[in-house]
Structure 1
Amino acid sequence: MSFQTTIARRVDYDGVGLHSGVMVHLSLMPAPVDAGIVFVRRDLAGGPRIRAAAPHVTSTVRATTLAEGGVRVFTVEHLMSALAAFGIDNCFVEMDAEEPPVADGSALVFFTLLKEAGKVQQEKERREIIIDRVYRIDDGDRFLIAVPYGEGLRVSFTSLNEHALVGTQYRDFILRGDAYEKEIAPARTIAYEGEVDALKKAGLGLGGTLENVIVYNDERWLNALRFPDELVRHKILDLIGDIRLAGFVRGHIIAVKSGHALNTQLAKALYAAFESSAG
């Protein structure tokens, strides 16, 4: 039996949003049982709240966006990934803008903040989503499959990229022990240099720099990699964050060329199935 958890104390972090380019102050705060992960927009009158749940996903263009009551937050996947890996059920995420800080483009800063905050067990059992059948989401040559798997969450991800610098990357990862902190959390967002101008014209990536995004062009990487297969590790990081929008999932997720759109489609399917069975 697993019990719900929250963080032991408030922690704060300041930084710029990856896509908005806007400075933001982030506070992670303890929350009561059954609160879930809740984003609080302190920059808006009344501090409206957006619950981090799969039905609230409204966009997956280059990031995962959540909206509730006409208020949104976006690029939540890195923070959600760290919260999932650290095992936090309930947390208030207060922000004075609509996008969390990008930090260094990974989830490591958030995971370190959570370690500083500490974790406390609460007096109510955690409801887990236990995969007991096969779920499949397809989009042409991209797909996600969720199948039963013993204990915890396992992700097997294949990334296929025609660029010679990237190529085919595969990683199989089990979310346990300190593996996430060492092997997944440090993996950063990656971009192709030829796409940067188009992204900025579309109002995306306005806060991106070589300090928080790994960039490659037709000839070389413009900054040093932390891992030879950093791209697929970051894909797993994103997937863990997106799937957390369904709840705590126990199962094996097999992904080929997946991104936020497929990730959140699976999260919505799992969330709906779980809510139906729980009701």
Structure 2
Amino acid sequence: MNNKQHTISKSVTLSGVGLHTGVTATMTFLPAPANHGIKFQRTDLPDQPIADADVDYVVDTSRGTTIEHNGARINTVEHVLAAMVGMEIDNILIQLDGPEPPIMDGSSIKFVEALEEAIPLEQEAHRKFFELPEEIRFKDLDKGIELAALPLNDYRIAVMVDYNSKFLSSQHANLTHVSQFKEQFAMCRTFCFVHELEVLYKAGLIQGGDLSNAIVIADRDYSEKELSHLSEVLGKPKVSISKEVGILNNTNLHYNNEMARHKLLDVMGDLALVGRPIKAQILASRPGHASNVELAKKIKKLMLETEKNKVPVYDPKQPPICSHERIYELLPHRYPFQMIDKITYLDENSVVGIKNVTMNESYFMGHFPNNPVMPGVMQVEAMAQTGGILVLSSVPDPENYWPYLVGIENCRFRKSVIPGDTVIFRCELISPIRRGIAKMTGKAYVAGQVVCEAEMTASLVRKS
């Protein structure tokens, strides 16, 4: 998975009919700045309102996922969002001059191809992954639906579907790496059963549905009279169902388990509404849009609760944002005062730095030599250096500035830091940096517990 955020290099446009509304719309993908996220814009409405792709704004899950925000309603967003997840696009503005993205062929492949044409572009910001700290489950026992999100330092999905049809037995699909999406899942099309067609039409859905953008499966044998009526409903001169294949007009499948793969695609798209890329193992048995959205709501709730605590997690297997060499280039400190080993997270408001405390630290020679404890002032110094990286990141030429610590308030030491501890420092801006002055809070953690905290003020001074 990409560690840096991505957008696209240029705009690209597609047009087509919407699956459920039947309205033809033009959709344009536009580049967006770092930390913008995925947003839809209804250019056909007054003031051209913008809707965030967020689970909080889901208003309908009838055979698709619909969001509404700021007066902008967008139907059937899941196939577009799945393409964003599969291509690891974090920041994009999706303009629509109608109520629904084009269904195209019923899959995500045309959106993937459009994003490739627009050329994904790496941005100078790191992805804000949410790594699940605990298991989350959703169950609907009446419908036999069960979904789970399990802690994992990666992104994987396993889906099982099972329908009461002699032509569609139990199917499974697995995505073990996001890079598999384009070649193995993006072209898998939406589907429904013959018996659902007339019901869906009468409910005002699938007005843009066609045998060219969906797989239609028989759940039993149909008489010629029934097929004739079906052709009238679909507006087709003739429809047929092979008793061997069981698919309307004998549509060829891309995969024997194409239906399970499409359900996996839907899960990816719906879970994109969490609002951040997630790291988890997703297990889904008989998923649908309603259950996907319920799981997304649970994940987002846990994400917000975790954010309140703001306990950073350190994964030594992940490459650093700034190595010790880069820190050496940015900060003026040298042995024995270069305190930070690496930076593992950095955005416009916060930073996370790591200090591995060893018995060889120079201050242990004189500071409680028979009971080595990291001096509090050194903890604050390390925290200030972490904050210095955050402050320097606010200017385009950080090598030309000195970051000075000019104030400390409300400093507290909660627990001793000893050799063998890995200290995780997190600093966050209290308010935007103005005139080179930055106010921030800082906390130091060992094994998830706060060992030190303080409010600090730093000043950026240009080198003469």
Judge conservation of contact 2:22–2:208 (CA < 8 Å) in 1.
yes
Q: In the TM superposition, what whole-angstrom CA distance separates every residue of 1:178-232 from its partner, at most 9, and x where no partner exists?
A: x211111110000111211111111100101110011122241121211111110
Judge conservation of contact 2:161–2:172 (CA < 8 Å) in 1.
yes
Shift of 1:275: 2.2
Shift of 1:71: 2.5
Q: How does 1:105-254 map to 2 (within 5 A)?
A: 105-140=106-141, 141-151=144-154, 153-177=155-179, 179-217=180-218, 218=220, 219=243, 220-222=246-248, 223-246=251-274, 247-254=276-283
Q: How does 1:25-174 map to 2 (within 5 A)?
A: 25-140=26-141, 141-151=144-154, 153-174=155-176
Taking the aligned partners of 2:102 and 2:176, their CA distance within structure 1 comes to 27
Judge conservation of contact 1:192–1:215 (CA < 8 Å) in 2.
yes
Shift of 1:54: 1.2
Shift of 1:69: 2.4
Taking the aligned partners of 2:62 and 2:176, their CA distance within structure 1 comes to 27
The answer to whether structure 1 residue 276 and structure 2 residue 302 are counterparts is no
Shift of 1:66: 0.5
Residue 136 of structure 1: SS of its match in structure 2? strand
Q: In the TM superposition, what whole-angstrom CA distance separates every residue of 1:3-31 from its partner, at most 9, and x where no partner exists?
A: 21111110000100000111000000001
Deviates more, 1:72-81 or 1:164-173: 164-173
Q: How many residues matched? A: 277
Query: Which residue identity lines up with residue 67 of structure 1 in the other structure?
Result: E
Taking the aligned partners of 1:263 and 1:175, their CA distance within structure 2 comes to 20
Taking the aligned partners of 1:100 and 1:250, their CA distance within structure 2 comes to 27
Taking the aligned partners of 1:30 and 1:106, their CA distance within structure 2 comes to 23
Residue 245 of structure 1: SS of its match in structure 2? helix
Shift of 1:67: 0.7
2:286 to 251, 257, 260: 257
Query: Which residue identity lines up with residue 146 of structure 1 in the other structure?
Result: A
Residue 273 of structure 2: SS of its match in structure 1? coil
Judge conservation of contact 1:7–1:29 (CA < 8 Å) in 2.
yes
Residue 244 of structure 1: SS of its match in structure 2? helix
Query: Which residue identity lines up with residue 156 of structure 1 in the other structure?
Result: A
TM-score normalized by structure 2? Answer: 0.59
Identity of aligned residues (%): 34
Shift of 1:123: 1.8
Question: Structure 1: which 5+ residue stretches go unaligned?
Answer: none
Query: Which residue identity lines up with residue 30 of structure 2 in the other structure?
Result: M
Judge conservation of contact 2:146–2:286 (CA < 8 Å) in 1.
yes
Taking the aligned partners of 1:241 and 1:176, their CA distance within structure 2 comes to 13
Judge conservation of contact 1:156–1:170 (CA < 8 Å) in 2.
yes
Residue 34 of structure 2: SS of its match in structure 1? coil
Residue 21 of structure 1: SS of its match in structure 2? coil
Shift of 1:70: 3.2
TM-score normalized by structure 1? Answer: 0.96
* Runs of 4+ that moved beyond 6 A: none
Query: Which residue identity lines up with residue 95 of structure 1 in the other structure?
Result: L
Query: Which residue identity lines up with residue 152 of structure 2 in the other structure?
Result: Y
Output the aligned Cα RMSD: 1.2
